Structure formats: C-alpha cells, structure tokens
Amino acid sequence: TKSTCIPFRESKLTKLFQTFFCGKGKASMIVNINQCASTYDETLHVMKFSAIAKQVVQVIPDKTEESLSPCLFGRDGKPLVRNGVIDSKALESYLSEEELLDEEADMSLLPQSELLNMIEGLRTKLLAERRRKLVQEIEIRKEMGDAMLQQILESEELRAQQIEELKESYAEKLENTFEMYKDAIKEHAYQCAMNNLEDNYVPLDEFTAEQEKVEVVQDALVEKSALLEALQKTADDQSRALEKVLHQNDEKDKEIASLKDQLCKLSQKSPVKKTKRGLFANFKDAVASPRIHPTGRNIRLAGSPKP
C-alpha cells in the first residue's frame, strides 16, 4: 500500500500526544458508539473514522548529515556553530530573521549535541535578556512610581489649597449670614418694643391723675391701718381684762361653794331655824345680786335672772 502523509496542526492536544505521534510511545484509540437507531448515521461515521485512523502509522526517516548541514548556516552563509560553540553574533543575526520565528520551522533536524549547545546558549541569552528586561522594568516602575508620587503630592497640595479656599469662602458666607440674622433679630426686637410701647402708652395727664389717686388711696390705707392697729390693741386689752374677770369669777364660785358647804354644816348643828333661814336668805340675795366690774360693767352669774 502507498503511504500517505497525514499532517497534524500545533495545539494543546497534539502537544500532549506529541511523543506518541513521533513514534516514541504507543497510543490506543477507544471508540464509543450508541445502539440507539436514531444515532445510526453518527455511529457509522465514527466507525469509518476509527477504521481509517487505525491504519495511521508514524514513520520517522533517518536524518543524514547532508540534511543537517544546511541548517548549521545562516542566510548569509556564516556557520552558526564553530568548534561545538555557538557563534553569538551569527546566532543573533540568525534569530533576527523571520525563518526561525516561523511556527512551521523544524528544529528537530539539528544533531542532539548542537541542539543542546544551542539551547544552553539560548538559555543564557534568555536569562540575560530577562535580567535586562527586569532591570528595565524596575527602572520604569521606579520612574512611574516617582512620577505618580509627584502627581499625588501635587494633587494633594492642590486639594489642600482648594479646601482652604472653600473654608475661607464658607467662613465668609457664614459670617455674612450671621450678621444678616443679627440685624434681623435687632430689627424684630425694635419693632416688638415699639409695638409694646404703643400698646402701653399712657398720656401724662392721665398718669398724673392716677398717681394722685394712688397717693390718696395710700394715705387712706395708712389711716385705716393705724385705726386697725388701735382697735386690735383695744381688743387685746379687753381680752386680757375679760380673762382676769373670769379668773376672779372662778375664785368667787369656789368661795361660794365653800360657803355653801359651811352653811350646810352650820344648819345641821344650829337649833335655831329662824336665824338659819334669815342667814340663808341674806346669802341668796348676795349671790343673786349682780356684781359691779371695775370697768363699769355688770357681771352676772350663770343661771341668775336678767335685770
């Protein structure tokens, strides 16, 4: 049978199975089919594809020196490797060309030792380039950081200046508003005072007449107060005199009670009834007769008939 080259594209899946495609491993294919009649066409297509894929065989031809030798030179004809060492200038010139940057370039045509040397050289250049890029990135970041810091400081200074201007503006507005309200309050207080003055205004003639009336009333009040004090004093004196008379009356009642007791005792012991009756009648008249108070008033005992 005639062999046919089956190309495969570069992808993550082909990179995963690259060793098997290159003949360095064994690959197996599992085909899933469905017994359902509705998927008959799809199942048939899968079976045909698996039958064709089963016949694919990876064949790697042996590489000759003639096929390798042209790849050891650049476009300008200068060798890339001299005495097993990579020429830096030639390699840089070769790397700058688009032929090595092509995705379809086949680096597997070089010998293993030369490939290792080239990889080592490229690794060294890569590290140096990375170091240079890192230093350059650090410098750029530093410059950008300084510029950003300067910009932030300038913006903060500008913002602080704007805040100070706003503070001054608001302070001035607040002071003007305060003065306006203070003037308004003064005007309102003045208007209220004027309204109260108009409401409570009294002519001078009326005020003088009222003052005279007040003075007359005050004089009369002073006189009445003096009279009231004199009457109060008289009432107090009479109350004390009355208490004194009542006290004397109590003493007299006690004396009368004592005399009654003595009279009863004498009447029981004396044989002369006529004299008893005459003494008792005299005593009864003395008791029934009203007493003259030192103040000139008649004092009657309780139970005595009125004159």
In 3-state terms, what secondary structure has residue 293? coil
Show which of 60, 87, 102 is a domain's final residue: 60
> Does a structural domain hold residue 22?
yes
Half-sphere exposure of 287 (CA within 13 A, CB side): 17
Structure tokens at 148: 């950003």
3-state secondary structure of 73: strand
What is the pLDDT, as a whole number, of residue 163?
92
Q: Domain range for residue 264?
A: 219-299
Residue 226 lies inside a defined structural domain of this protein: yes
Q: For the chain, what is the domain count?
A: 2
Question: What distance in Å separates the CA atoms of residue 209 and residue 216, rounded to the nearest whole number?
Answer: 11
Mean pLDDT (the chain, rounded): 74
Residue 47 in any domain: the answer is yes
* CA dist., res. 266 & res. 249, Å (int): 25
In a domain, residue 44? The reply is: yes
The domain boundary, picked from 29, 60, 91, lies at: 60
Query: Does residue 84 sit within a domain?
Result: no
Residue 30 lies in a domain: yes
Whole-model pTM?
0.26
pLDDT of residue 156: 92
The ranges of the chain with pLDDT < 50 are 1, 63-71, 84, 97-106, 273-274, 290, 292-307
Domain assignment of residue 197, yes or no: no
Question: What are the CA-CA distances from residue 32 to residues 7, 42, 50, 56 (Å)?
Answer: 25, 11, 10, 19
In a domain, 164, yes or no: no
